Structure 1
Amino acid sequence: MVASGWWVVAAAAAGLGVGAAASTATRSFVSLKRRWARSGWFGAALTGVVFAVLAWRLAGRGELVAFGLAAGVAIPLGIIDWCEHRLPRVLAWPQLGATALALASVALVRNTPEPGLRALAAAAAAMVFFLLLALASGGGVGAGDLPAAGLVGLVTGWIDWPHVAGALIAASVLALVVAVPARQHRTHPGPATVPFGPFLFCGALLMVLVGA
């Protein structure tokens, strides 16, 4: 119990630092009127909480570094998408590659290639699914959604295939819960636009906490 407590405290402190540093990327893409999103304290606090929760669930396991790396970039990406309805590829693609390398390192150290191969296959499957969705929706899915979907597939695929499906279902349900009130209260004609990136990341985090 004491060791777990120290893991959580250390992870929370690291998250505060990572979140504060990542807020510089957020400010580069979010408009000046979104003061809460541009402030360093918001990203730092949110990252600290997520890191603490991951450490509580994964203390002492190699996946903690890989999942923390994914979360450290997912949070500014989610904030940017929520505010600006886009996921900058300059952040999303390196995040996907770095997380893949981190999980591959864990698989090599453990000499268990199966989780790593399954994670890569799940990432590819999620990206193909979103690419088909983008084509079917006539551009309703942005290019930045592809690496975001790949990241969700990568992280949850490391656990198992049902958690990949669970993350996508959870993201869809969360987005629907937000989309219905947004549609009812919109003041301009046309469908309500709901950024999907934050819900994808929340779905992945939920599956990690449930199945890791």
Structure 2
Amino acid sequence: MSSWPTIISTIIVTVAFAVFAVLSVVLAEIDARTHRIPNRLVLPGYLVAIALFVAACLVGAPWVTLLRAAVAMVALFGFYLALRLLSRSAMGGGDVKLAGLIGLHLGWLGWTELAVGAIAAFVLGGLYAVVLLASGRAGRRTRIPFGPWMLAGAWVGILLGTALILGIPPAQTA
């Protein structure tokens, strides 16, 4: 019987990440098309994730995991806010708000996942920009939506974070 809280908390966390997966697809598509990340989707995303993570803790997940997620949320939000303050044209306000939501999810999993996800966003976005520049489809002043790359990087961190750091093939991480 003692495993029921673990099973229930795992289900709740799985739901949180499933919601984030759907939100990731929707937000990436919207940002790619409009260069906007709507508050009406991101802000409720925070509420849903926090509610589900708190519920998971109430039924047995470690509270320290929630604390780490909160710290990661603030840290990634703060990092993106600093980038925005350094250059308003380089980072949009929607990216800053999205960063906190991404940090919350990556932080739930661990510091390694947070680091991998955060770095992967810039690597993927940078590679995309290089391809656009090299192909002549973009110039130095071309605006490129970063939200899709933030979300892709987040999912690299979620799915492969520890495996990438440890050099473990993905099939062995399960």
Structure 1: 5+ residue stretches without partners: 1-59
Q: Which residue of 2 aligns with 1:101?
A: 51
CA distance in 2, matches of 1:188, 1:169: 23
Decide which of 173, 191, 204 is 2:154's aligned counterpart: 204
**Contact 1:96 1:147 survives alignment (8 Å):** no
Deviation at 1:187, TM superposition (A): 5.7
Deviation at 1:111, TM superposition (A): 5.0
**Contact 2:12 2:55 survives alignment (8 Å):** no
Q: Which residue of 1 aligns with 2:77?
A: 127
Q: Which residue of 2 aligns with 1:182?
A: 132
Decide which of 163, 169, 188 is 2:119's aligned counterpart: 169
CA distance in 2, matches of 1:176, 1:113: 36
**Contact 1:116 1:158 survives alignment (8 Å):** yes
**Contact 1:167 1:207 survives alignment (8 Å):** yes
SS at match of 1:87: coil
| TM-score of the pair, normalised by structure 1 | 0.66
Counterparts in 2 of 1:105 and 1:185: CA distance versus 1, 3 Å: same
Give identity over the alignment, percent: 33
Residue 22 of structure 2 corresponds to residue 68 of structure 1: no
Deviation at 1:147, TM superposition (A): 2.1
Q: Which has the higher contact order (CA 8 A, sep 6+)?
A: 2
Q: Which residue of 2 aligns with 1:33?
A: none
**Contact 2:132 2:138 survives alignment (8 Å):** no
CA distance in 2, matches of 1:93, 1:207: 22
Residue 77 of structure 2 corresponds to residue 155 of structure 1: no
Q: Which residue of 1 aligns with 2:3?
A: none
CA distance in 1, matches of 2:116, 2:137: 33
Q: Which moved more, 1:72-81 or 1:180-189?
A: 180-189
Aligned length: 153
**Contact 2:83 2:91 survives alignment (8 Å):** yes
Q: Which residue of 1 aligns with 2:171?
A: none
CA distance in 2, matches of 1:75, 1:176: 20
